[in-house]
């Protein structure tokens, strides 16, 4: 399957051979031989202060061949270091005109590189944040048709689309330093209603095949598929389960109810249980002549996914050389200059993990990631050995956070270039200046929470390291008590309320110190209604978990917390049970990092199952994993390397700079909100695509950062969930000794 279909890119391009386009309002046929265009305007070349174009600014060039004609407009570029986001392009500009009678712009094009077409208006000319859309180019002439409804702004002040003040059409290239490209455009025109020459992309693409967890199912878990209702698919329609050579091994009929899933997916669907299949092997579901992706049945199904998702952390380590023969990810040590000024003395801040596609390192992200790893260790038996490297990887993150602690106990917020993104550049070649951000209450509280937990986890594994973590936690606790509301609003993680983080710290400190006054404070300040699944804004669940498992917590208080966990996940399970795809996301929950949101909820379900022994919570968690791994309306696994149709083009530096894929990394997930959306995603949203389908698997300078970029806390949640499900001990015994499944 080609890239456009596999990645759900908007279907904007359709080659029409050499037929003549219907004349609408011609901007330029590029046959005049001069800079003037057909709307009494002129062609203008532009680029950042460092990059270069041919021809350069102040001149303009024509190619010796056009689309079925003698000439076309031509531009070549080379991106040079110096600008945070290099760019180059050219524009056919003219006096502002009223284009109310037109619905889009089209042109013939060929070239190389990553390009956007943009339409300036009077309002966007202030910041040059024009409405636009990416498009694909090849060496062959292709017609591109862009409806105005598919154009979107991707940065700057939001403006309303105003067709009465259109003042040009332009083509802009972007990319990291060293990128080269070229473009030729011809026969540029604006077209009216009913004059479109290409087929518009579907607003609601519906995949007809049965949707399954493309990784598979364990024999002990619920086994379900989901299929969209259509004339030949209804209650009573037969289905077959086939083995990998196509032999039927099980038959059945689709059962109701019919779920109306229109608010999320624009579909009505059936969710049907099959099996349970106990025999390990590879299978697929067949319904009405359509077959699902192949999936496995195996008791150790989640172990490889756990190993790969954990390995991702070793591949994104900062401050050290990375060389992995399996993935091919390799680069020298990076960001060795990370430091802070402590009283005139430079302090070493190297280490940690690159959080996402950018190379920033945040205490809040690092602490949540480490906490999920440490809780996996604690809730699955707490082995003293570290055969899979879980505690070693967590320690890499903890060691970096210890460097972020100041002598007075304050904890620096981050080390980052702050919005100097170097997408497509290997970390060792990152040219952006980096600096640390001052300490804040939120960071100190996150630091305290995970350091106090580390004392408990490493006490037998490495007593000396546990002692370091204890000293650090106590010092930062003293600082936090004196500085409870020091807030720094980060441009990327906007959170001005440290109260949730302080609940995490309080729960862990009460357990670490055994102080009754801190236990009493937690009981008072952490009522049941403040418990919610983890997110980077709300990590307090870890504090509740520390308290409920603290042997010194009074039985009545522990029972109240356990009941609070049950209440929290009952609400999640209720959403899942009434949702066509079984996912505990409301239609409004498909926002930036929706897949992370779901994985944190999955972790909460597994934690509650461990605390209560209720298998229904675990089964609900498994259903969420089904969704993440392909049992969704896109029939797509959001985990790289896992599934017949899985994320293959993550918005991540390892893929953009090195062309390598990290198996086990998670995509951000569907995002229906235009604020901050990239051009590809914005085009999908503006078509009216249902929330759960607003996703684009693309990574290049015009890729989808708003739906296809994961981060460490998200993949750490996957480490917890896959690791928990991969541990056979979880099937029979939780941390309180609860036996069996109820």
Give exposure, 320-337, as e/b (b: 16+ Cβ within 10 Å). eebeeeebebebeebbee
Class for the domain spanning 216-297 = mainly beta
Distance of alpha carbon 239 from alpha carbon 242, whole angstroms: 10
Report helix, strand or coil for 255.
coil
Cα pseudo-dihedral 725, 581, 214, 591, rounded to 10: -80
Q: What is the pLDDT of residue 342?
A: 55
Structure letter (DSSP) for residue 324: -
Q: What is the pLDDT of residue 3?
A: 31
Nearest-5° Cα angle at 409, 403 to 412: 50
CATH code for the structural domain at 303-668+709-731: 1.50.10.10
Report helix, strand or coil for 229.
coil
Q: 3-192, what's its fold?
A: Jelly Rolls (2.60.120)
Q: What is the pLDDT of residue 7?
A: 34
pLDDT digits over 188-218, tens only?
999 998 898 888 778 899 999 999 999 999 9
In order, the DSSP letters of 676-687 are: T--HHHHHHHHT
Q: Which uninterrupted H or E stretch holds 88?
A: strand 87-97
Q: What is the pLDDT of residue 33?
A: 80
CA distances from 223 to 219, 302, 720 (A): 8, 15, 21
Strand pairing class (216-217; 295-297): parallel
Q: What is the pLDDT of residue 688?
A: 92
Q: For residue 339, which phi and psi values (nearest 5 degrees)?
A: -160, 170
CA distances from 144 to 47, 133, 189, 214 (A): 23, 11, 11, 35
Distance of alpha carbon 564 from alpha carbon 88, whole angstroms: 56
Give exposure, 474-512, as e/b (b: 16+ Cβ within 10 Å). bbbbebbeeeeebebebeebebeebebbbbbbbbbbbbb
Q: For residue 674, which phi and psi values (nearest 5 degrees)?
A: -75, -20
pLDDT digits over 49-90, tens only?
999 999 999 888 999 899 999 999 999 999 998 887 789 999
CA distances from 483 to 20, 500, 502, 525 (A): 71, 15, 11, 18
Q: What is the pLDDT of residue 113?
A: 86
Q: What is the pLDDT of residue 345?
A: 67
In order, the DSSP letters of 398-462 are: HHHHHHTB-TTS-BB-EEE-SS---TTS-GGG--S--EE--B-HHHHHHHHHHHHHHHHHHTTT-
Global pTM? Answer: 0.85
Q: Which residues of the chain have pLDDT under 70?
A: 1-23, 341-345, 383-384, 701, 728-742
Number of residues in the chain? 742
Q: What is the pLDDT of residue 20?
A: 41
Query: E strands of 263-333, at which residues?
Result: 268-273, 281-287, 290-291, 295-297, 322-323, 330-331
Hey, where are the domains in the chain?
3-192, 216-297, 303-668+709-731
């Amino acid at each position: 399957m080609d890239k456009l279909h596999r990645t759900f890119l908007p279907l904007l391009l359709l080659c029409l051979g050499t037929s003549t386009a219907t004349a609408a309002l011609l901007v330029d046929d590029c046959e005049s031989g001069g800079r003037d265009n057909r709307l009494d305007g002129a062609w203008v070349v532009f680029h950042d202060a460092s990059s270069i174009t041919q021809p350069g600014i102040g001149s303009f060039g024509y190619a010796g061949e056009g689309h079925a004609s003698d000439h076309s407009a031509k531009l070549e570029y080379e991106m040079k270091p110096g600008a945070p986001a290099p760019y180059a392009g050219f524009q056919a500009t003219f006096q502002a005109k009223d284009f109310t009678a037109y619905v889009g712009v089209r042109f013939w094009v060929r070239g190389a590189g990553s390009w956007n077409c943009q339409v300036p208006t009077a309002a966007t000319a202030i910041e040059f944040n024009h409405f636009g859309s990416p498009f694909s180019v090849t060496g062959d002439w292709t017609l591109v048709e862009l409806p105005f409804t598919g154009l979107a702004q991707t940065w700057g002040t939001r403006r309303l689309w105003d067709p009465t003040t259109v003042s040009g059409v332009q083509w802009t290239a972007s990319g990291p330093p060293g990128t080269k490209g070229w473009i030729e455009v011809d026969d540029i025109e604006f077209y009216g209603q009913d004059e479109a020459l290409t087929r518009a992309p579907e607003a609601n693409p519906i995949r007809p095949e049965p949707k399954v967890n493309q990784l598979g199912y364990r024999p002990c878990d619920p086994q379900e598929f989901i299929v969209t209702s259509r004339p030949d698919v209804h209650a009573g329609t037969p289905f077959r389960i086939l083995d990998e050579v196509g032999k039927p091994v099980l038959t059945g009929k689709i059962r109701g109810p019919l779920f109306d899933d229109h608010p999320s997916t624009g579909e009505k669907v059936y969710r049907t249980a099959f099996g349970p299949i106990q025999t390990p092997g590879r299978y697929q579901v067949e319904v009405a002549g359509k077959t699902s992706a192949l999936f496995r049945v195996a008791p150790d199904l989640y172990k490889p996914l756990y190993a790969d998702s954990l390995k991702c952390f070793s591949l994104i380590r900062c401050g050290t050389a990375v060389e992995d023969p399996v993935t091919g990810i390799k680069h020298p040590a990076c960001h060795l200059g990370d430091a802070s000024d402590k009283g005139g003395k430079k302090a070493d801040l190297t280490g940690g993990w690159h959080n996402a596609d950018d190379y920033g390192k945040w205490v809040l992200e690092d602490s949540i990631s480490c906490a999920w790893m440490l809780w996996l260790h604690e809730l699955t038996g707490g082995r003293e050995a570290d055969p899979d490297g879980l505690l070693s990887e967590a320690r890499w993150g903890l060691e970096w956070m210890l460097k972020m602690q100041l002598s007075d106990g304050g904890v620096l917020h981050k080390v980052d270039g702050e919005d100097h993104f170097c997408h497509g550049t290997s970390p060792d070649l990152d040219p952006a200046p980096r600096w640390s951000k001052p300490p804040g209450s939120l960071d100190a509280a996150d630091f305290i929470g995970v350091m106090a937990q580390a004392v408990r986890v490493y006490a037998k594994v490495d007593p000396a390291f546990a002692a370091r973590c204890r000293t650090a936690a106590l010092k930062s606790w003293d600082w936090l008590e004196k500085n409870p509301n020091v807030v720094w609003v980060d441009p990327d993680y906007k959170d001005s309320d440290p109260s949730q983080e302080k609940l995490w710290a309080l729960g862990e400190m009460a357990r670490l110190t055994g102080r009754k006054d801190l236990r009493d404070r937690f009981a008072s300040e952490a009522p049941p209604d403040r418990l919610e699944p983890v997110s980077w804004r709300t990590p307090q669940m870890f504090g509740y978990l520390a308290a409920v498992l603290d042997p010194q917590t009074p039985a009545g208080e522990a029972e109240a917390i356990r009941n609070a966990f049950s209440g929290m996940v009952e609400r999640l399970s209720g959403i899942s049970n009434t949702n066509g795809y079984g996912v505990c996301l409301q239609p409004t929950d498909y926002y930036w990092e929706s897949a992370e949101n779901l994985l944190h909820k999955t972790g909460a379900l597994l934690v509650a199952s461990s605390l209560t022994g209720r298998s229904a919570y675990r089964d609900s968690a498994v259903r969420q994993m089904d969704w993440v791994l392909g049992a969704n309306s896109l029939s797509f696994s959001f985990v790289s390397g896992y599934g017949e149709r899985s994320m293959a083009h993550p918005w991540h530096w390892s893929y953009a700079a090195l062309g390598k894929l990290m198996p086990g990394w998670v995509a951000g997930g569907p995002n229906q909100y235009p604020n901050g959306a990239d051009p590809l995603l914005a085009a999908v949203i503006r078509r009216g695509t249902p929330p759960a389908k607003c996703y684009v698997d693309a990574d290049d300078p015009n890729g989808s950062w708003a739906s296809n970029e994961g981060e460490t806390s998200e993949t750490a949640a996957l480490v917890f969930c896959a690791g928990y499900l991969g541990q056979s001990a979880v099937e029979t015994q939780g941390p309180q000794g609860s036996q069996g499944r109820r």
